[in-house]
Amino acid sequence: MAQTPPSPRSASQLRRAVLSSYLGSVIEYYDFLLYATAAAVVFDRVFFSSLDPVVGTIASLGTFTTGYLARPLGGVIFGHFGDLLGRKRMLVITMTMMGVASTLIGLLPTYAQIGVWAPILLVVLRVLQGIAVGGEWGGAVLMSAEHATTRRGLWASFTNAGAPSGMVVSTLALTFAANVTTGEQFLSWGWRVPFLLSVVLLAIGLFVRLKVEETPVFAETSGRTKRGSPPLLEVLRRHPRNLLLSVGVGFGAFVAQGTLTTYVISYAVGHGFERQTVLNALTVSSVGAVLGVVGYSALSDRVGRRPVVLGGAIATAGVGFLLFPMIDTGSAAMLTLAVVLGQSVTHPAMYGPLAALYTELFGTRTRYTGASLGYQLAGLGAGIGPVVFASMAGAGTVAVSAVIGACCLLTVVCVLVVGETHTASLRDEPVRDAAGRRATAG
């Protein structure tokens, strides 16, 4: 990748783009992961109170999964218009959608008040959240990566760093609400407060995002190329190999993410830990994850994406077999250490560099669609994993760890096939076509 020194104006826009992408990601994932935490500790009693506790937990986590199922749809919709009309416009829409949906979740009546309509409306709003996140990630990454002239992995990684940052903020908000209310008050209205705060975060995020200009890479390309087929059709016809490999590269990271941020909460609480103890461990590990994502991504600019992601995938597979025995000790210190090892130390290495790697697999005319769709299809692992693992409770934790390990192995294989991408230019860079030959990206 050419190391062109940025002009003062482009440097200023890069800083704004990175800040906008980071804040947008924090807000989006605050809302999205707040739901994940609430699904694990609250929603089974608020929206599924008529069900057996075990079935209620599975149903609650199932609504969490619907958001992940909707994310590829968001990637396709906003990717299409983002490749046609520009990145910035779509990002304003996705942020607004997420903020409104989350606020409405905070206002939803319970099952005791309106019966079956409560979980139905919950699922509808969760789907809207998923569509918004599906469109947000690709645009936010591209805003940073396409503004950057050097250290693309570092600058793009701030979007991925927004995920654990959002987890920290959402967990702290939910913890605060739990601590200032009684158990009955928390189930009645306390859990709603963090969702209603989305309105404030939305206002801050839009204020910053509206000050960022369209990316120079998109502006150059849109001005000198004719639009052919819709971006999705171009991706499927010209770059199906890259799309499939992008799904495989990220799938293991998302399965691990869903395990560490969602399934571990319900598993640990079910094995005798206080809810607050588990949330504290998750908060500590999420802070470490922010540093890990940025640090490993910066390293990938120096040594390449492939060795960093490979090392992270192998290490995360190992932690998958240590995670549950450490939790089963009943020690809060061991619980915290287990989650920190996974979320702060090993997982960021396989997750952080993905932001830059995905942008490098597709050309400018199809990059928003291709990167978003690949990433969000891989993201299904985070939504499906917790539900599958909850259903596997009778099979034992070794079986769960084996599944995590197998998913990490898929990442290893796909990263080896993809090869190294960190030196590629984003201006019509060469990529591999469906037959694996070198071709010019469109």
Greater pLDDT, 131 or 110:
131
CB atoms near residue 3 (< 10 Å): 7
Handedness of CA 25, 373, 143, 355 (dihedral sign): positive
Which of helix, strand or coil describes residue 151? Answer: coil
Beta bridge partners of 369: none
pLDDT for residue 107 is more than 70: yes
Look at residue 398 in the predicted model and tell me its pLDDT: 93
Task: Look at 14-18, 82-86, 173-177, 292-296 and tell me which has the smallest mean pLDDT.
Answer: 173-177
pLDDT, the chain, mean: 84
Question: Is position 39 within any domain?
Answer: yes
* Short-list 164, 147, 130, CA closest to 219: 147
DSSP letter for 7, please.
Answer: P
Beta bridge partners of 101: none
The CATH number for 218's domain is: 1.20.1250.20
Question: Is position 247 within any domain?
Answer: yes
Range(s) of the domain holding residue 123: 8-440
CA 296 to chain centre: 17
Look at residue 51 in the predicted model and tell me its pLDDT: 60
What average pLDDT score do residues 387-412 get? 89
Gap between the Cα atoms of 339 and 13, Å rounded: 36
Greater pLDDT, 116 or 399:
399
| Backbone φ and ψ of 435, nearest 5° | -90, 0
Tell me which amino acid residue 215 is.
T
Which of helix, strand or coil describes residue 438? Answer: strand
| Backbone φ and ψ of 226, nearest 5° | -90, 140
Question: Is position 150 within any domain?
Answer: yes
Task: Look at 34-43, 95-104, 236-245, 396-405 and tell me which has the smallest mean pLDDT.
Answer: 34-43
Residue 437 binned pLDDT confidence (cut-offs 50, 70, 90) = very low
∠ CA 245-365-20, nearest 5°, is 85
Q: How does pLDDT run across 341-361, given as a tens digit for each residue?
A: 999 999 999 999 999 999 999
Q: Which of 10-14, 206-210, 256-260, 331-335 has the highest mean pLDDT?
A: 331-335
pTM score of the predicted model: 0.83
Residue 116 binned pLDDT confidence (cut-offs 50, 70, 90) = confident
Question: Is position 2 within any domain?
Answer: no
pLDDT for residue 31 is more than 90: no
Question: Is position 188 within any domain?
Answer: yes
Residue matched to tokens 């600019």: 301
pLDDT for residue 10 is more than 60: yes
Look at residue 206 in the predicted model and tell me its pLDDT: 86
Tell me which amino acid residue 201 is.
L
- Please count the structural domains in the chain: 1
Question: Is position 325 within any domain?
Answer: yes
What average pLDDT score do residues 251-257 get? 94
| Backbone φ and ψ of 440, nearest 5° | -95, 130
Radius of gyration of the chain (CA): 21
pLDDT for residue 327 is more than 60: yes
Question: Is position 15 within any domain?
Answer: yes
| Backbone φ and ψ of 222, nearest 5° | -65, -25
∠ CA 151-367-221, nearest 5°, is 85
Look at residue 256 in the predicted model and tell me its pLDDT: 94
∠ CA 109-111-115, nearest 5°, is 105
Q: How does pLDDT run across 206-224, given as a tens digit for each residue?
A: 888 888 888 888 877 765 5
Gap between the Cα atoms of 43 and 51, Å rounded: 12
pLDDT for residue 385 is more than 50: yes
pLDDT for residue 3 is more than 70: no
Residue 436 binned pLDDT confidence (cut-offs 50, 70, 90) = very low
pLDDT for residue 395 is more than 60: yes
Q: What percent of the chain has pLDDT over 70?
A: 87
Question: Is position 3 within any domain?
Answer: no
Handedness of CA 321, 324, 328, 330 (dihedral sign): positive
| Backbone φ and ψ of 227, nearest 5° | -80, 125
Q: Which of 116-130, 164-178, 325-339, 387-401 has the highest mean pLDDT?
A: 325-339
What average pLDDT score do residues 385-402 get? 85
- The helix (H) or strand (E) run that includes residue 439 is strand 438-440
